[in-house]
Structure 1
Amino acid sequence: MPQLVTLLAITLLLHLHAAPTAVAQAHAATGAFIYAGCSPSKYERNAAFQSNLDSLLTSIASTASSGAAYNSFTAGGVVGQPEAARTAAYGLYQCRGDLSRGQCVACVRETVARLGAVCANSYAASLQVDGCYVRYDASDFVGRADNTVAYRKCSSSSSEDAGFLKSRDAVLRELQAQAATGYKLTASGTVQGVAQCLGDIAAPDCAACLAQAVVQLKGTCGSALAADVYLEQCYVKYWQNGHDFRSSQDYSGDEFGRTVAIIIGILAGLALLVVFISFLTKAC
């Protein structure tokens, strides 16, 4: 019987590690982790800021069901209050422009839930997944132009083929010219691309952000077959059709979110494994 317990335990562990749940499969396209940013400064539990932050995150999760692809929020705070005494929380969410209302709601709610685990007790945090983006801060950042690079990556494969480079440049030109008015997906030859700005910036600021993103893509990734760049208020991505993306360069400077997500999954699996082994041992 001990051998049976060991065999069943190993089987369960392999299943937990290798078999994704139906929910994970359903949200693979929208919930895939891209990057997270967490401030090093932490707030104390039960502080006034935590109360306002909880209210803010609740508003984000509930308001997404209204169907709006973007919204910003403020919770708490007093006008004219000194910086050191401020307890207000500011935040926003945005969904990818091609998502349905249901997909947007599910993505935002899931991302809000994950943000607390990825950036526990941080005064500022952001989490970008494939389908949506959620950010909060103790300082008011909403609507303020910011072209800081948050994340960028380049595929390990590249090509100097003239046809590929011509198609890529055509896609980037189209995105830079058209995405300032909203989410844009375009293609040229074998290359596709997508771009989007946050909903809180004006068209001229969006255009400037997109232009900077394109500069970053070309300057950092060269002739890579796929590349992404996320600035604080916009993103631009392109890829060659059928290309299996593999990141060779990652300048986000923050793998904390990915690491925490992996750790949480491992701990959950181990906890279930311990309970399962304990149950079988008692049964024997």
Structure 2
Amino acid sequence: MGFSLSLKLSFLCFIIIILSTALFSDLKLVDSASPDYTNLIYKGCARQQFSDPSGLYSQSLSAMFGSLVTQSTKTKFYKTTTGTTSQTTITGLFQCRGDLSNNDCYNCVSRLPVLSGKLCGKSIAARVQLSGCYLLYEIAGFAQISGMEMLFKTCGKNNVAGTGFEERRDTAFGVMQNGVVSGHGFYATTYESVYVLGQCEGDVGDSDCSGCIKNALEKAQVECGSSSSGQIYLHKCFIGYKYYPNGVPRGASPISGSSGSSSSSSSVRF
């Protein structure tokens, strides 16, 4: 009887181990399938650095970063100005992708101040774009550029010419351009295995947003050609697309890091 009980206990322990292994394997698969919204897409740093013997610029920058991170728990776009004098005034903003939750937005934005310091040091202006959010700051009087200026592009290396992809992509582009207006600055959709996403900066009106997105889509057609994926970042908007020949998987996103793609920066600002 003792042997029988021992055998039953051993078998029960074996079953528990198998179930635990399966459970943690499933959790690992779910985690690895989750989209990573903190991948670095690009950075732009002004060549000129702060001349800050009194530390006033550093104080203004720190105050601005703190304000942006705090607001990221409540909203997906926020713009503010800090500084005690016109010489130390700094304007900054952040924006999260429209499909991120408030918690994901905060987790994304909270990385940006430290990352900005590592990538750009004490530049008088900087822009850091992650796959889920971006940060921009500049001192008063910094040279302005057109909202249509292309800052960065990345195109997938996989060419799908001759598969009918271009027609599906262009139809998806048209749907997205209309959707971003009705969505007041953000829209994502799927059309025949093509996933597209577009977003304008939070203070851009619907009409200007439509024009910016149209410009970005046209650039994607020219710059990326028959590439199965692409991302175009203009000063005031960005778009991304990706073709999934076997159907768009759950949790997919056309916005990611530049792994497996060709990238280039076109900014004349920094």
DSSP 3-state at the match of 1:204: helix
Does the Cα contact within 8 Å between 1:74 and 1:90 map onto a contact in 2?
yes
Alpha-carbon spacing, 1:121–1:190, altered in 2? closer, same or farther (3 Å): same
> For residue 202 of structure 2, what is the aligned residue in structure 1?
199
Instruction: Identify which of 63, 66, 70 aligns with 1:58.
Output: 66
Alpha-carbon spacing, 1:26–1:133, altered in 2? closer, same or farther (3 Å): farther
> For residue 215 of structure 1, what is the aligned residue in structure 2?
218
Structure with the higher fraction of residues in helix conformation:
1
**Cα displacement (A) at 1:165:** 1.4
> For residue 14 of structure 2, what is the aligned residue in structure 1?
none
The residue type equivalent to 1:252 in the other structure is S
**Cα displacement (A) at 1:187:** 1.2
Query: Which deviates further from its counterpart, 125-134 or 43-52?
Result: 43-52
Does the Cα contact within 8 Å between 1:76 and 1:87 map onto a contact in 2?
yes
Separation of aligned partners in 2, 1:162 and 1:26: 28
Alpha-carbon spacing, 1:140–1:170, altered in 2? closer, same or farther (3 Å): farther
The residue type equivalent to 2:230 in the other structure is A
Separation of aligned partners in 1, 2:112 and 2:32: 16
Query: Does 2:176 match 1:156?
Result: no
Separation of aligned partners in 1, 2:103 and 2:200: 21
The residue type equivalent to 1:247 in the other structure is S
> For residue 276 of structure 1, what is the aligned residue in structure 2?
none
> For residue 188 of structure 1, what is the aligned residue in structure 2?
191
- State the TM-score, normalizing by the size of structure 2: 0.75
If you compute each CA radius of gyration, which structure gives the higher value, 1 or 2?
2
**Cα displacement (A) at 1:28:** 6.1
The residue type equivalent to 2:261 in the other structure is S
Alpha-carbon spacing, 1:247–1:111, altered in 2? closer, same or farther (3 Å): same
Overall identity of the aligned pairs, in %: 27
Query: Which deviates further from its counterpart, 96-105 or 171-180?
Result: 171-180
Separation of aligned partners in 2, 1:182 and 1:40: 31
> For residue 17 of structure 2, what is the aligned residue in structure 1?
none
Does the Cα contact within 8 Å between 2:152 and 2:232 map onto a contact in 1?
yes
Where does 1:249-260 land on structure 2 (aligned, <5 Å)? 250-252=263-265
Query: What CA deviation, in whole Å up to 9, does each residue of 1:248-274 have, x standing for no partner?
Result: 2x22168xxxxxxxxxxxxxxxxxxxx
Gaps (5+ residues) in structure 1?
Answer: 1-23, 255-284
Query: What CA deviation, in whole Å up to 9, does each residue of 1:119-169 have, x standing for no partner?
Result: 11100001100111111000368x986111111011111122252111101
Separation of aligned partners in 2, 1:95 and 1:209: 18
> For residue 7 of structure 1, what is the aligned residue in structure 2?
none
Gaps (5+ residues) in structure 2?
Answer: 1-30, 247-253
> For residue 44 of structure 1, what is the aligned residue in structure 2?
51
| Aligned Cα root-mean-square deviation (Å) | 2.5
The residue type equivalent to 1:104 in the other structure is C
Instruction: Identify which of 23, 39, 43 aligns with 1:32.
Output: 39
The residue type equivalent to 1:251 in the other structure is S
Query: What CA deviation, in whole Å up to 9, does each residue of 1:208-262 have, x standing for no partner?
Result: 11111011101111111111100111101111116996212x22168xxxxxxxx
Separation of aligned partners in 1, 2:35 and 2:170: 29
Instruction: Identify which of 236, 252, 266 aligns with 2:239.
Output: 236
The residue type equivalent to 2:161 in the other structure is E
- State the TM-score, normalizing by the size of structure 1: 0.72
